[in-house]
Amino acid sequence: MSLWQTRWDASTKGRWTHRLIRDLRVWSRRKYVNSNFNRTWLLRKLSAQDRKKATPGCHHCSAENDDAEHTAFDCPAWNAHRTNLKNELGVNSLTTTNMIPAMLESAEAWTACTSFAVCIMQEKEEAERDREKRSTTLMAATLE
Ligand SMILES: [Zn+2]
Q: What is the model's pLDDT at position 104? A: 86
What is the spatial distance between Cα 90 and Cα 84, in angstroms, rounded to a whole number?
10
Predicted pLDDT of residue 51: 59
Looking at residue 38, its pLDDT comes to: 42
CA of 56 from ligand 1 middle (Å) equals 11
How far apart are the CA of 55 and the centre of ligand 1, in A? 13
Residues 6+ positions from 114 with CB-CB distance below 8 Å = 36, 37, 40, 41, 42
What pLDDT was estimated at residue 85? 95
Residues of the chain with pLDDT under 70: 31-56, 142-144
39 CA to middle of ligand 1, Å?
23
CA of 19 to the centre of ligand 1 (A): 20
Distance 124 CA to ligand 1 centre (A): 11
pTM: 0.69
- The pLDDT of residue 26 is 75
- For residue 113, the CA-to-ligand 1 centroid distance in Å is 19
Output the pLDDT for position 47: 59
Q: How many contiguous H segments (helices) and E segments (strands) does the chain have?
A: 9, 0
Q: Distance from the CA of 14 to the center of ligand 1, in angstroms?
A: 22
Task: Say if residues 68 and 47 touch (Cβ distance below 8 Å).
Answer: yes
Q: Report pLDDT for 68.
A: 83
